[in-house]
């Protein structure tokens, strides 16, 4: 079985400040980890993924995420938040990737204020 | 990425009726997925649809309620049968086009059942 936890329903941050959206996972094997973003009334957009290799992965719109195997975490980060980053963020995990099903976290609403 | 379209984009239906949602991809893909996103909730996988074989349903979802067709490598349909207000959700299709793990999502179909 695989599961994802996003402990924060909402994260508030001031524009220009760094942001972190937390994600922890549980899988019985090597995880493939993903972050998606959902803007209001729009579909889900892929941000970044970790498959193997460097623990720090960079994605779209200046976002990055750090894979930490010992803490089973994959937190999403951005050095300087923008108001336009305000959206719903989902962490997801699959066991082997390449067409296997994704299990999503409950989502974290990010609100960036001026 | 992949260009994915869904029809209809939204619908309001009466209890007891059925709705068929279409998903069209701009290129051939082996696996397509159908998800449900209930109001304020995360995404839950309904089933995986492979061309030429029966769809594989996740726990809690059955073929009689959510029949799926996959007639070719670019198209799939999901039917929501005998609808009740609890079926009010956003239904999304996705594809794993490159076999690299990340899935690309259609814009979703927002279903309201009265």
Burial of B78 (0-12, 13-18, 19+ CB in 10 A): buried
* pLDDT value for B1: 65
Tell me what pLDDT residue B51 has.
82
Tokens 């309201």 belong to B112
Using a CB-CB distance cutoff of 8 angstroms, which residues of chain B are in contact with residue A36? 105
Contact list in A for residue B60 (CB cut-off 8 A) is none
B90 and A CB contact within 8 Å: no
pLDDT tens string B9-33: 999 999 999 999 999 999 998 889 9
Task: Check pLDDT > 70 for residue A98.
Answer: no
* Residues of chain A found within 8 Å of residue B70, distances taken between Cβ atoms: none
- Judged against a pLDDT cut of 80, whether residue A21 lies above it is answered with yes
Tell whether B41 is within 8 A of chain A (Cβ).
Answer: yes
pLDDT at B77: 97
The overall average pLDDT reported for chain A is 92
- The reply to whether A106 touches chain B by the CB within 8 Å rule is yes
State the Rg of chain B over Cα.
13
pLDDT at A79: 97
* % of chain A at pLDDT higher than 70: 96
Of B31, B42, B44, which is closest to A99 when you measure between CB atoms? B31
Residue A99 has pLDDT above 60, yes or no: no
Selected for mutation to probe chain A from B101, B105, B106 (highest A CB count within 10 Å) is B101
Subunit contact B103:A104, Cβ cutoff 8 A: no
What is the rounded CA–CA span in Å between residue B73 and residue B30?
6
CA distance A43 to A40: 8
Q: Which residues contact B47 (CB under 8 A, 6 or more apart)?
A: B33, B34, B55, B56, B57, B58, B61, B66, B68, B78
Grouping H, G, I as helix, E, B as strand and the rest as coil, residue A84 is helix
Q: How far is CA A43 from CA A63, B6, B9, B108, B110, in A?
A: 18, 11, 11, 6, 11
Q: Tell me: the pLDDT tens digits for B66-103?
A: 999 999 999 999 999 999 999 999 999 999 876 667 88
* Confidence bin at B53 (pLDDT 50/70/90): confident
pLDDT bin (cut points 50, 70, 90) of residue A31 is confident
């Amino acid at each position: 079985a695989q599961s994802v936890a996003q402990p924060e329903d909402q994260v508030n941050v001031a524009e220009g400040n760094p942001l972190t959206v937390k994600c922890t996972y549980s899988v019985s094997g090597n995880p493939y980890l993903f972050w998606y973003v959902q803007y209001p009334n729009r579909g889900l957009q892929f941000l970044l993924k970790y498959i193997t290799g460097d623990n720090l992965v960079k994605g779209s719109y200046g976002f990055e995420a750090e894979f930490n195997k010992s803490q089973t975490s994959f937190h999403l980060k951005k050095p300087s938040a923008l108001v336009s980053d305000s959206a719903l963020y989902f962490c997801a995990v699959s066991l082997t990737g390449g067409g296997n099903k994704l299990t999503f976290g409950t989502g974290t609403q990010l609100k960036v204020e001026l | 990425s992949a260009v994915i379209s869904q029809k209809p984009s939204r619908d309001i239906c009466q209890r007891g009726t059925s709705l068929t949602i279409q998903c069209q991809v701009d290129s051939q893909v082996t696996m397509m997925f159908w998800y449900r996103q209930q109001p304020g909730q995360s995404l839950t996988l309904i089933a995986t649809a492979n061309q030429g074989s029966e769809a594989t349903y996740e726990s809690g979802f059955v073929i009689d309620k959510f029949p799926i067709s996959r007639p070719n490598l670019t198209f799939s349909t999901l039917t929501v049968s005998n609808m009740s207000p609890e079926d009010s959700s956003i239904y999304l299709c996705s594809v794993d086009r490159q076999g690299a793990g990340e899935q690309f999502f259609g814009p979703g179909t927002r279903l309201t059942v009265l």
